[in-house]
Structure 1
Amino acid sequence: MNSHQDGSVAQPDSLVNADRPKSLRVDAQRNRARILDAAHAVFAAEGLSVRIEEIARHAGVGIGTVYRNFPTKELLFEAVIHRYQQKLVEEAESLLDFDDPGEAFFQYISRVIEEGAANKALTAAVSGTEIDMKAVATGISDQLLDVLSKLLECAQQSGSVRADIGAEQVKALIVGTLLAMEQSAGQADRSVVIVSVICDGLRARPD
């Protein structure tokens, strides 16, 4: 072990650089998050036809950094969808203890539809016109359906939602509504009406 002229002990290179891998990992995680944030925004605004270069520019990273994390645009989109679905699961779970189960259910349905309608990439994914969604995050999709089932069951038990509909049917309604709203792009008033009609159709009716 060497000593400096001032008497201090010089640290081996292995110790000096010990924190470097950790720092690199932190930087890599930060870059990945920036890429996903940028991709979500750009896909939402422009759809799946957007170029990777545009996503890299919005993320503030080089295109090589994007490809190191996501070798293809399809893999990047799958990661964006997976993270978005995880967000939907967490939001639904946070509503399970809501004081008014019916209000929680309709609030969630409205939010999913309104957010999805404003996102070109999600609508394209739902329609299957640009990417095969069967390959995208099947595990998290199951979680999403499960928590939607719980929200629906609570709302039905409270008497707020009709009893003759299941979670799969609610999911189909959401998908169909998003596709219908794609045809009404730029007509915000019509979108609000469509969401209102869907929710009214799900409400329980007095005997």
Structure 2
Amino acid sequence: MVSHSKNASPRADAQKNRIKIKQSAITIFKNKGLEATIEEIADHANVGVGTIYRNFGSKQELANLISYEVLNEIYKKQIEVIESDFPIEEKLYKIFDTFIYLSTEYGEIHQMVLQLLTSTIEPNPLKEDWQQKLHSLYHRLVALGQKEGIFSKENTLIQEKILINTVNPMMVKEVSAILPIEEAAVTLSKFVLNGLIIRK
């Protein structure tokens, strides 16, 4: 009978290394964003630089992976908001609030995400994936607002464009440089709602 225990250990070690590297990358990227170096991440994870390159290819690929996972976490929170019983105004505020969470919870990763999303290097699968998520999210939000009689049933695509261009991590980052971070979500959601809500 052939034992598989000898083969299992290297695979288990490799998996542990990947987890350690990702956790360390989050810690270092939180503090330094894309200014972080592979050497700093390797030191924090207590692995060799070569181990990072073997597992992730490059700092860019590692940054993209972390950004994808962070944005996916944000998107899941936003879907929970959309599927909640809150009124549409509260939903919009809470969606803004998820971007505040991105900034307060992940520090410089917020700026790193913005840099990667606005990168002109093609292809940019991170940007494409995020744009698809935003389109889907705001399509649902506008439909709910129209169903509740809060948003006009005219110019649906324009309403979606307004949301995409104002309710995003870039806008939250810019406004939080002017206002206290805890006020940014309320202020932005009020501005957006003023342009979307039907006045009776």
Aligned twin of 1:206: 199
Equivalent of 2:40 in 38, 54, 57: 54
Coordinate RMSD, CA, aligned: 3.0
1:172 offset after TM fit, Å? Answer: 1.8
109-118 or 69-78: which moved more? 109-118
Q: 1:114 to 1:86 in 2, by over 3 A?
A: closer
Deviation string for 1:34-87 (max 9, x for gaps)? 322322332232120111111122333322221111121111111112212222
* Structure ID, larger Rg: 1
1:123 offset after TM fit, Å? Answer: 3.4
Letter in 2 for 1:61: V
Letter in 2 for 1:45: N
1:160 offset after TM fit, Å? Answer: 5.2
8 Å contact 1:44–1:120 — kept in the other structure? no
Equivalent of 1:180 in 166, 174, 184: 174
8 Å contact 1:145–1:167 — kept in the other structure? yes
1:135 offset after TM fit, Å? Answer: 1.4
8 Å contact 1:92–1:151 — kept in the other structure? no
Unaligned segments of structure 2, at least 5 residues: none
Letter in 2 for 1:62: G
SS in 2 for 1:47: helix
Aligned twin of 1:4: none
1:133 offset after TM fit, Å? Answer: 7.7
Equivalent of 1:41 in 19, 22, 27: 27
The answer to whether residue 116 in structure 2 is matched with residue 125 in structure 1 is yes
8 Å contact 2:24–2:44 — kept in the other structure? yes
After TM superposition, the score normalised by the length of structure 1 is 0.72
Letter in 2 for 1:149: H
- Distance across 1 between alignment mates of 2:152 and 2:31: 35
The answer to whether residue 94 in structure 2 is matched with residue 107 in structure 1 is yes
Q: 1:193 to 1:40 in 2, by over 3 A?
A: same
- Distance across 2 between alignment mates of 1:122 and 1:133: 16
1:114 offset after TM fit, Å? Answer: 4.4
- Distance across 2 between alignment mates of 1:120 and 1:150: 27
% identical aligned pairs? 20
After TM superposition, the score normalised by the length of structure 2 is 0.74
The answer to whether residue 53 in structure 2 is matched with residue 63 in structure 1 is no
- Distance across 2 between alignment mates of 1:153 and 1:147: 10
Unaligned segments of structure 1, at least 5 residues: 1-11
Aligned twin of 2:148: 158
Aligned twin of 2:180: 190
The answer to whether residue 160 in structure 2 is matched with residue 140 in structure 1 is no
- Distance across 1 between alignment mates of 2:173 and 2:122: 15
1:32 offset after TM fit, Å? Answer: 1.8
- Distance across 1 between alignment mates of 2:150 and 2:10: 52
Deviation string for 1:136-167 (max 9, x for gaps)? 43553223432343244324433556765533
8 Å contact 1:113–1:177 — kept in the other structure? no
